[in-house]
Amino acid sequence: MNNSALLSFLCLFALLHQSLAASPQFNVIQFGAKPDGRTDSTSAFLAAWKQACSSTRGVTLYVPKGRFLTRSMLFKGPCRNSAIFIRIDGTLVAPSDIWAIGNNPNWIEFQYVNGVTISGGVLDGKGAPLWSCKLAGRKCPTGATVRNGPVNNVLVSGVTSLNSQMFHVVINFCRNVKLQGVRISAPGNSPNTDGIHIQMSTGVTVVNTKVATGDDCVSIGPGAANLRIENFACGPGHGISIGSLGKNVNEPGVQNVTVKSTTFTGTTNGLRIKSWGKPSNGFARNILFQHATMNNVQNPIFIDQRYCPDRNCPDTVKKN
């Protein structure tokens, strides 16, 4: 994100918070949500969102203390205002039954919104039963994640994500998204629980964030540009990975990525770039890794141009 874009971004959220001082508030309790961790509150959350999205003024959607059970939720725009503040003092809990969400890839999803702030709270994905199913080799649903995209001008601040079934946060087809003070946690042996996955997006910033998980702390896929990660702690996990790239012949590249002031502790990798060993017009360029501290890291810096996690690999051997 260049200086002018960053200034515009900060000004937008300054105006947003100023407008929220006298803005309407929609409490999910008023729409029927129950903070008992057992009653399905999905419809109440969606009803509150409908009211917030249809307002012509900046609004607050409030989740008070307590545990709120929800199934898959799509918070969809476009909205009539660009100043929705979602304040979470409680915990959103996914169902423990691995088939309750089924093969829906998203537990919580935002689409076509502009100017949303999500502040505080805990997202408990209840992923352990699904991980056990996968590790046992049984028939299992794919698993769900928290997905953003396409969205513009979104701030996620002080949110904790626990034990997601799949990726904790996905940023896809987004512009100007900032994650700050985010905490992500899952056991080191939890499969496919990437902390933050970014692709086909520009102007994404991740600062003052800690990730402990069973896969990449951050994975950066094709089409990511103008990305900054700073003051970031990773471990356990597989490190910060650009790629895999080049799986397809025609594929957008990754460019203008700055990763600085990072700490890796007990991770498989530190800083990694991985690309498939076959023809592609994909690329990685203008990548800066700076001021990284490695503690008990197996592969501190790893550039792999013959990446292949499958059995039938083109001109290469199997990689883990």
Active site residues: 238
Residue 31 in 3-state DSSP?
A: helix
DSSP 29: G
Residue 51 · residue 77 · CB < 8 Å: no
261 sits in the region (left: phi over 0; alpha: psi -120 to 50; else beta) called left
Q: For the chain, what is the radius of gyration of the CA atoms?
A: 20
CA distance 147 to 227: 18
Please, what sign has the CA dihedral across residues 79, 115, 152, 148? Answer: negative
Render the burial of 189-219: b for 16+ CB within 10 Å, e for the rest. Answer: ebebbbbbbbbbbbbbbbebbbbbbbbbbbb
CA dihedral 41, 44, 50, 56 (to 10 degrees): -120
Element holding 43 (H helix, E strand): helix 42-54
